[in-house]
Chains A and B, each alone.
Chain A
Amino acid sequence: MASTDLSTGRTRPARPSIDALGWLRENLFSSWLNTLISLVLLWMIYELVSGLAGFIFHAQGWSAVASNLKLLLTWTYPPDQLWRPQLVFGLLALLLGLSAGVWRGITLVLATGFGALCLIAALLALALPATANQVALQAWQMCLAAAALVLAGYGGSTAARERLRWPVVIAWVLLYPTVILILRGVGGAMPVVGSNLWGGLMLTVLLSASGIVLSFPLGVLLALGRRGNLPVIRWFCVAYIELIRGVPLVTVLYMASLMLPLFLPGGENIDQLVRATVAVTLFSAAYLAEILRGGLQAIPKGQAEAARALGLNMFQTTLLIMLPQALRAVIPVLVSHFISLFKDTSLVVIVGLADLLGAAQGIVGQPQWLGTPGGVWRETFLVIAVIYWALSFTMSRSARQIELELNIGKQ
């Protein structure tokens, strides 16, 4: 469209500008029925907004959220060790920034999304009442620092693109074990903090990130196995995928929580978080496998043939030609799977973990709110709903951006 306009050298006629009143008349009040519907809707919007505003500005329960921010974010993680989750947060920010500088494109989208989220969180924390406590101040500083680190990483690595490529890749590979190590501790200056003390938003993010990161290789293997030509492996993959997809996540969580100890020697000692992580990973892998299989099937036969004709072996063909194309084709489905996994992790409350939802329940049940009329659940749950929403929304927006980014090469 635009290019034909350009090539003929013609400019498009300017869109007739309509003033606000004209627009209203044309769109909302063009007929009697239309006017009636518009008025009813306006009244409903007014009621909703004024009700919400009254709630936001007058509710008593906000202090429950403000004074329990620490619980909501990290649950019972020792207060004097909070620098560890903060360090993890900073590391992630720096790495995202570095990647954005080295590769631009997709990574830039992700880093921008992350940075924006941090800035918004910083603003929200700043808006908390001054009485709230130190955590609000800390949260504000931390989010701002994270956003700054993204920017710093970006600036630094744009200058040194070629040199930083491999170090950054290695850093990503090492990130997951490093994070676990930092949070769990090794003794000395970093005393061991058992995962029974972890919780809140930290746990939710960790659990979903673990689920996504760990289920990815597993899902890829299952998808390839199901498409491969070794019957035993294919049957195993089909059986696994169909079995897991046939049961709800709760079942898998219970199985991991109650049965794992029976199967594994010394299983009673495996902590609850590991069990939940295993369950989420096994669950997610089955869905990932099916999503990826769809992507692989969409690739024309000629692609693998061309790769093989060039002398690439099976492994290289899969890694360099098939998987990248399959992944691109399924990004929207993949992201909605990750979003639902992120929200589904709230089910771990059932096996006794205090994730974001669990932390909220814990706060609502605190004895000091017994006197508050109506309790504090409305405010608390609204806050965690907003947190869930903000993170999910960022994920889906980033996915959309990534798609646009990748489509530049197509047509």
Chain B
Amino acid sequence: MSHPISTEDIIICEHVNKWYGDYHALRDVNLRVKKGEVIVIFGPSGSGKSTFIRTINRLEEHQEGRIIVDGIEMTNDIRNIDTIRRETGMVFQQFNLFPHLTVLENVTLAPIWVRKQTRAESEIRAIELLERVGIKEQARKFPGQLSGGQQQRVAIARALAMSPRILLFDEPTSALDPEMIKEVLDVMRELAGSGITMLCVTHEMGFAREVANRMVFMDKGQVVEEGVPAQIFSEPRQDRTRLFLSQIL
């Protein structure tokens, strides 16, 4: 990797358990992420990957265990939640852009209302970000006028506009046509090299092999195995990991 990884933990999950009613969705999940690390989370559908990364910015509540993000423990305290949401950006499978706002307004919304920046300064920064993800010329369009790949890049710019220290990706390329996957992965690759902490749920194994510092395999709500990509791909310790990899590679 091009940037050094700090020794300091930015995300600490200890014995996290979550239930949806009777359904045990997360079972004793433990994970420590260092500042600047890029983590790829993968596993079968329904294994709790989305649920897990959504507990990190409290889109889902966990019932047991501790989650500490950037030194702040997730509790029901609304101020902590707001602080953490300001420090974490999230990119969704379905983009979730705001269809009634232009691309530029999508990107400047949170800086203006949450960070209380002026419209002018937030727009300058937004244009920079849109340039970084390669769609500056679309700034005045509405999301509905863009292709899926372009929309997802806007979503990334929107998340970056809050200058987050952590980026969460939930299958960012799963809803895209094959020819658009690359343009989004290119942006993510560039981000991974920039030193920001990233948690990516993805099945793009080429991306994982290339940029991930560590990979986490989840199944049935548990972390089954974690390790560096080289080890996960060539000598997975668990049979379930091996079986899953053989199915998707």
The answer to whether B86 and A311 have CB atoms under 8 Å apart is yes
Q: Is the CB of B99 within 8 A of A308?
A: no
B142 at interface by CB-CB < 8 Å: yes
Q: Which residues of B contact A406 (CB under 8 A)?
A: 100
Given contact pairs A303-B96, A321-B98, A410-B142, A309 touches B113 in the complex (Cβ within 8 A) = no
* B121 contacts chain A at the CB level, 8 A cutoff: no
Inter-chain contacts of A307 with B (CB < 8 A): 98
The digit string for A307-328, where 1 denotes a CB below 8 A from any CB of B, is 1111111001000110011001
Q: Which of B85, B99, B142 contacts A311 (CB 8 A)?
A: B85
Chain A's interface size range is: 20 to 34
B183 to chain A, nearest CB (A): 20
Q: Which of B94, B99, B114 has the most CB of A within 10 A?
A: B99
Given contacts A311-B110, A324-B100, contact A411 B92 (CB under 8 A): no
Q: Which of B100, B102, B110 contacts A310 (CB 8 A)?
A: B110
Contact string against B for A residues 260-275, beta-carbon threshold 8 Å, 1 for contact and 0 otherwise: 0000000000000000
A373 on the interface (CB 8 Å rule)?
A: no
Taking a contact as CB atoms under 8 Å apart, the answer to whether A409 and B82 are in contact is: no
Residues of chain B within 8 A (CB-CB) of A409 are 99-100, 102, 142, 144-145
Most buried by B among A309, A312, A411: A309
Contact residues of B between 111 and 129, Cβ < 8 Å to A? 113-114
Any chain B CB within 8 A of the CB of A405? no
In the complex, residue of chain A having the shortest beta-carbon distance to the beta carbon of B59: A305
Select from chain B the residue with minimum beta-carbon distance to A324: B100
- Interface residues in B141-171 by Cβ distance below 8 A to A read 142, 144-145, 158-159, 162
One of B92, B102, B142 near A306 (C-beta < 8 A)? B92
Question: CB of A302 within 8 A of chain B?
Answer: yes
Q: How far is the CB of A404 from chain B (nearest CB, A)?
A: 14
Q: How far is the CA of A309 from the CA of B97 in the complex (A)?
A: 12
**Residue contact A328 to B110, C-beta cutoff 8 Å:** no
Knowing A320-B113, A409-B142, A410-B144, the reply to whether A305 touches B96 (Cβ < 8 A) is yes
Nearest-neighbour CB distance to chain A for B55, whole angstroms, equals: 13
Within A141-166, which residues are at the interface with B (CB < 8 Å)? none
Question: Nearest B residue to A301 by beta-carbon distance?
Answer: B96
Instruction: Let me know if B100 and A309 touch, CB within 8 A.
Output: no
Q: In whole Å, how far is B74's beta carbon from the nearest beta carbon of chain A?
A: 14
Interface membership of B130, Cβ < 8 A? no
Contact call B144/A411, Cβ cutoff below 8 A: yes
Q: Which B residues are in CB contact (< 8 Å) with A305?
A: 59, 92, 96
Please measure, in the bound complex, the distance between the C-alpha atom of A300 and the C-alpha atom of B175, giving whole angstroms: 16
Contact A308/B100 with A302-B92, A320-B113 known, Cβ cut-off 8 Å: no
Question: What residues on B are CB-neighbors of A313 within 8 Å?
Answer: 82
Is there contact, CB below 8 Å, between B98 and A309? no
Interface contact B94-A302, CB-CB below 8 Å = yes
CB distance B99 to A410 under 8 Å? yes
- Give every chain B residue within 8 A of A325 (Cβ-Cβ): 98-100
Could you tell me if B142 and A310 are in contact, using CB atoms closer than 8 angstroms? no
Task: Report A-chain residues with C-beta under 8 Å of the C-beta of B144.
Answer: 409-411
Minimal beta-carbon separation of B12 from chain A (angstroms): 20
> Nearest Cβ in chain A — how far from B49, in angstroms?
16
CA distance A20 to B132 in the complex (A): 60
Quick one: closest A residue to B111, CB to CB?
Answer: A310
Contact A312 B99 (CB under 8 A): no
A sample of 13 cross-chain residue pairs with beta-carbon separation below 8 angstroms, ordered by A number, consists of A306-B90, A310-B85, A310-B109, A310-B159, A311-B110, A311-B162, A312-B109, A316-B113, A316-B114, A325-B98, A328-B100, A409-B99, A409-B102
| Interface residues of A, Cβ cutoff 8 Å to B | 300, 302-303, 305-313, 316, 320-321, 324-325, 328, 406, 408-411
Which positions in B face A, CB cutoff 8 Å? 57, 59, 82, 85-86, 88-90, 92, 94, 96-100, 102, 109-110, 113-114, 142, 144-145, 158-159, 162
Given A306-B92, A312-B113, A325-B99, 17 further pairs, Cβ under 8 A: A302-B96, A303-B98, A306-B96, A306-B97, A306-B98, A308-B85, A309-B59, A310-B162, A311-B114, A311-B162, A320-B113, A321-B98, A325-B100, A406-B100, A409-B142, A409-B145, A410-B144
